Structures are given as C-alpha cells and as structure tokens.
Chain A
Amino acid sequence: MIKVENLTKEYILRHQNDSRYTSLRDVIVDKAQNIFKAKSSLQADTFLALSDVSFDVKQGERVGIIGRNGAGKSTLLKVLSRIVTPTRGRVTIDGRVASLLEVGTGFHAELSGRENIFLNGAILGMTKSEIQKNFDAIVDFSGVERFLDTPVKRYSSGMYVRLAFAVAAHLEPEVLIVDEVLAVGDAEFQKKCIGKMKEVSNADGRTILFVSHNIAAIRSMCEKIVFLEGGKVVAYDQTEKVLPLYQGVLKEGSTNGISVTATPESPSGEWETGTDLHIRISWEKYRFDPGWQCDIACYTMDGTKLFAIQSETFSTFSSLDKEHNGVEFSVKNMGFASGDLRLDVGLSKAPKEPYFFVVENCLMLSPTDKGLPEYKRNDVVIIPQTTCKAINI
C-alpha cells in the first residue's frame, strides 16, 4: 500500500546565476556581499514542482500518472523512489520498492551483455541470487543470447534497449515504479513489456505506478489514474473517468498569448474517418508579422511521424496581415485508424529560424474509423482509400 500525504517539492530557482555549477567563489562573494547588503544578490525564487499531492494506492493496483510536460509526474516518481527528498509531506510505502526511471541505468559500454545484466540488476535492487535465478529468462526475453559476451558498446540501439528492458521486466518487488521508459522501444517490444508487467501484477498482486504519454498503454494497463497539472492532483479516479478529462485538456494548448486548439468537426467529438479536424492557432491582435511560419507535425504514440503541415504551402497564410489574429487549418482524416496521435505546433518569425512558440506533445487526438464500420483493426495506423473490382485474366 502506498499512502501519499500533502507531498510538496519546492525548487529554488536562481535568476542571476545561470551557470550549471555553483562555484565556491560565487558563494564566498555572495556571503561577503551579504555582510554589507541586506539582500542577497542571488535572487531566490521558488518553484513548486509538486504542491499538496495526496492519494492512496492499494496493494495490487496499477495506477497511471498522467499530465502534460512539467506537470510534476517525474518529480513525483523521484520522490516516491527516494531519489529526491520532499520539502513537505509524507509518504508511506509498504513492501520492497523498485523504480525504473530510465532504461539501462548504470549500463557500462565496455562491459559485455552478461556482465551488464548483473550490474544493472544489482543497481535496480536485485540480489545476486535473484539475478542468477532469472538469468535465463532475462536472456530469453531480450533475444540477444548470441551477443551475450560482446561489449554493449557494439550493440545496436535496439538490442541495447531490449536487454535493458529484459532486466527490468524481471524485477520482483512488491511496488514497481515506472517512468516513461517504454517510449524508446519498438511497438512490438513495448507490447511485450506491458504484457509482462500486467502478468506479474496479476499473478503476484504487485502494485505498479506507471507514467506515460502513451494513452493506449495507460488504458490497457492501469485501473486508476492520477491526473497532475501544475504540480497538483486534478483528478484521481478510475481510468475511464479520468482519461476523457485529460484528453479534453489536451485539445488546447496556450502560452505567451498564443493558443492552439484542435476540434474535430464531427459532433461526437472524435476525428472520424472522412471528417475534418480544425486546428486553430490564434494570437493577440496586431501581434502577427508577415513572414511568420507555422509548422504542424503529427506523430503516433510510438513516435512515427504521420504527416506534417508547413504554412508556406498555403497562400492564405502568406497573405495574412496584422489585422488577423488567427488561422485555421482543416485536416481530413483519410483513414487514420490507430489509437492516439499527438500534434506538435511551432511558430517562427521567418523560414529556418528557431521557433518562438512551440506546443509539444500537447494535443492528443483519437481518430476513429467510425466512418468505415468494416475496418476494426487496432494495429493499423492508416487505411488508404482502396477500391476493389472484379477482373478476368
């Protein structure tokens, strides 16, 4: 059982001093100045990465943690896995905890696959006998048995990730904490991992906390969801109840007076096959300068780029002037069938310049193939327009 009570994590931001390392000289100079001045020159500003987070997880539950980038998901996991200390609050965890915040933590490039299995296992908290007991299963799961005595620096990145996962998948704690680590594996391997995690959770009543941007993975894996936003818990409930809330929030993104929304045309609120999606980008009046560029890219959850839109290909966009305060792209669903997609939007002042406004990972869409009732294949991303006719040869 996990009990989180009023957990708060505060970070101190230094504005004046941007360097990565604090140097002793700065501290001495600062302390010396303090003698003469009332106020420190290092203006301290605090940032609440987590504020008053409370929730309970029962033994054997699989709980997903979702939220946008910077919502505090990773900080929460770091506090729960005792890597960072909270500023206030209390957490009680019953049972042995293992956390997997990164794939292949502590892997050493010079060591062989075999050696790294032992090293990584020990780092993740396994004892030597546990590793030995599971060694064959790990090797089998990873599928790299032929290269077991090759240094991992000679591995392909896929093999590396598979080996790292294989070790992690054979952890046997009562509480498993997993960060967005599945994002790097290929789709098939991801499925295998999620399957393995579900299996052990069902069999041994293992508690799992799971952070992911992959809604499909969360949906298939977790019974309950903690939805974080700005370091606070927005909702904590059954998956079916929280996911729509989250997806609702994700249809909008705004910063610095520029906002982006993506609204499907169909009244059901889903981006059905054959219907349009309206991506609307708006800004404060008179802010627009001719020459602005807008790029939109759409990815599947495992990172495959599906399509991209560049504003330079639209004469309407080039002819915008200061009077306009927004633009709307309409994209037709030509047959995107698979689960969830995400949109990235970027604006730059001129071609090839860095974006001054970026919404990443922010917009989530769930296209459906409702328009084509015949197709019900979940693993298909695109259903191309196809015709069929009888021929005689």
Chain B
Amino acid sequence: MLFYLCDMVHRTVITPENTDSNYWKDVWRFRGLCYFLAWRDVLVRYKQTAIGIAWSVLRPALTIGVFWFIGWFFKIPDEGVPRIIMVTAATLPWQFFSSAFSEAANSLIANQNLLTKVYFPRIIVPVSTVIVCLIDFLISFAILVVIMIFLRYTPGWQIMLLPFFLVLALLTAMGSGLFIAALNVKYRDFRYVIPFIVQFGLYVSPIAFSSNTIFASADIPDWAKVLYALNPMVGVIDGFRWCITGGEMAIATVPFVISMAITALMLVVGVRYFRRMEKHFADVV
C-alpha cells in the first residue's frame, strides 16, 4: 500500500518543449531496463554458435596475433618490453572502443521497434550496448593475464590506474557513439561511415607501433604530431600501455592532456546532441 502512496505523487507533464525536467531521474528509474537490454544482448550474442563465449577471446586473440606479426616482421622498436605484451595492451582497449563505438552508434536503429512502441529515456539503449562491450572486454582481458603469467611478467604499481583508462575509453566510445547514433536515426548514411571511422582509427592509433616512436621522431613535423594527438584513443592506448608496461610517460603528457580534452568535448557534444534529437526519434526512425 505504501508503494502506491509513494507513486501517487509521480506526475508526468508532456509539452512540446520540455519532456526533460526529470530526465536523469527517469534514466535512474529505468536502470533495470538498461540491465535487461545488456543481459539480452549477452544472452543472444552467441546463441546457436558452436564455440559460444570463446568468440569473445578468439576475436581479439587473432587481432593480437596479426599485430604481433606485423611488429616482428617490420622490426618496429619494442622498447625493451616483450612485444606480445606491448601489442596486447593496445589491442584490448582498441577492440573495446571500436566495438562499443560502432554498436552504440547502430543501437538505435537495431532497436527501432522499441523506440516506436514504448517510452524510456533513449540514452538507455546505447548505454546498454556499451555495457555489453565492457563485459566482452573483461572476458578478453584474460588473454593478457594468461600471457603475463606465461612470460612471468610482473606489471608495476601503475596497473592500479588501469580502471581510470578503461573509464576514459568508455567515455570516448560513449561520446562519439551517442553523437553518431543520433545522426544515424535520421541519416542512414552513417551506417556506412561507421566502419570507415573504425578502420581509419585502427591505422592512426598506436597499436602496431608506439606513440613514443612518433613523438621522438625528428622526421615528423610538429603539426602532424598535434594532429596525431587529437585522436582521443592515443591517450587511452598510451595510458593502457603505461599501466601494464610501466616506463616513461613523460614525453606523452601534453598529447595525453589533448586527448583527454577531446574526450570531454566529444562527451558533452554527444550527450547534448543526443538529448536534443531524442524527442524526434520516434517520428523519423
């Protein structure tokens, strides 16, 4: 009975301008839905596959293999750390970002039947897909642990800061994902742009090589170094590497601040644009 008395107070006001006076309260109220959508995606993802959840490990493992081979073949400098650890420490966050970004960006289209039939704060949909990717990341993190045990490699104290960089990767994926998701609802062109962004990002992020090589190189002009640092994943991946392999981070401090600033900017722009477009989603999707 008390339950009903409390809820009696709940009042919804619908007007053209504001449906958002208690938007974040609503997001909190619907957190259960966020959990269930993520749970659905996890359950569904590997249904009717023969090796199931092993795909979460196999996919990044294959990518790591390729990058390790490229690094070894082209003799890219490894800075005194086992190459396989260098590569893994960069591939895992990159995979997390790329899957979180592209799935968040496509999430509204994939769930359009929900958008037109029930109300909930729309931001729940991309957030739940990012959570799924986070779970995938945690599973694939086992690869790194296994490699470190196998090579008897002990990371330094810096590994304690890994969650911070994970959050940074998450926010980067979130900001960009929300922005593209909102655009994607109206302009389906972005369906084709997303794979391109991901592919392009792979080349300009320090996965097969190290940022230190770039910043230390005398052949690369300064403007190109700034341009390189504008990629928010540079800061994230450098941070991951630093957490696991330790070593010098000093050279990369300025680029790291630039990357963080870009992440913050993308998050603000992404959330605001998403919020602005949100009320028309059901009309245009």
Once bound together, how far apart are the Cα atoms of A81 and B36, in whole Å?
21
List residues of A (317-359) whose CB comes within 8 Å of B's CBs: none
- A83 lies within 8 A of B119 (CB): yes
Q: Interface residues of A, CB < 8 Å — how many?
A: 47
Q: Which residue of B lies closest to A112 (CB)?
A: B43
Contact of A25 (CB < 8 Å), options: B8, B13, B118, B189: B189
Inter-chain contact total with CB atoms closer than 8 Å: 120
Pick the interface stretch among B66-74, B109-117, B208-216, B249-257.
B109-117
Q: Known contacts being A82-B119, A101-B117, is A88 close to B16, with CB within 8 Å? A: yes
- B116 lies within 8 A of A108 (CB): no
**Interface presence of B40 (CB below 8 A):** yes
Contact of B11 (CB < 8 Å), options: A94, A101, A102, A122: A94
**Interface presence of B283 (CB below 8 A):** yes
Name the B residues within 8 Å of A95 (CB-CB): 7-8, 10-11
Name the A residues within 8 Å of B283 (CB-CB): 11, 84
- A93 lies within 8 A of B14 (CB): yes
- A90 lies within 8 A of B13 (CB): yes
- A82 lies within 8 A of B16 (CB): no
- A105 lies within 8 A of B189 (CB): no
- B13 lies within 8 A of A92 (CB): yes
- B15 lies within 8 A of A83 (CB): no
Q: Interface residues of B, CB < 8 Å — how many?
A: 40
- B118 lies within 8 A of A93 (CB): no
Q: Known contacts being A110-B44, A110-B48, A119-B40, is A22 close to B186, with CB within 8 Å? A: yes
Contact of A21 (CB < 8 Å), options: B44, B119, B188: B188
Interface string of A80-104 (1 = CB under 8 A from B): 1111111111111111110101100
- B16 lies within 8 A of A85 (CB): yes
Name the B residues within 8 Å of A106 (CB-CB): 113-114, 117-118
Name the A residues within 8 Å of B30 (CB-CB): 125
Show 21 residue pairs from A and B whose CB-CB distance is below 8 angstroms, ordered by the A residue: A22-B186, A23-B187, A23-B189, A24-B189, A82-B12, A82-B14, A83-B116, A84-B279, A85-B19, A88-B16, A90-B15, A93-B12, A97-B119, A102-B117, A115-B40, A122-B33, A122-B37, A124-B118, A125-B33, A151-B47, A174-B4
A residues neighboring B (CB under 8 Å): 11, 21-25, 27, 78-97, 99, 101-102, 105-106, 108, 110-111, 115, 118-119, 122-125, 127-128, 151, 174, 204
Top-5 shortest CB links A-B: A122-B36, A82-B119, A91-B14, A85-B279, A93-B12
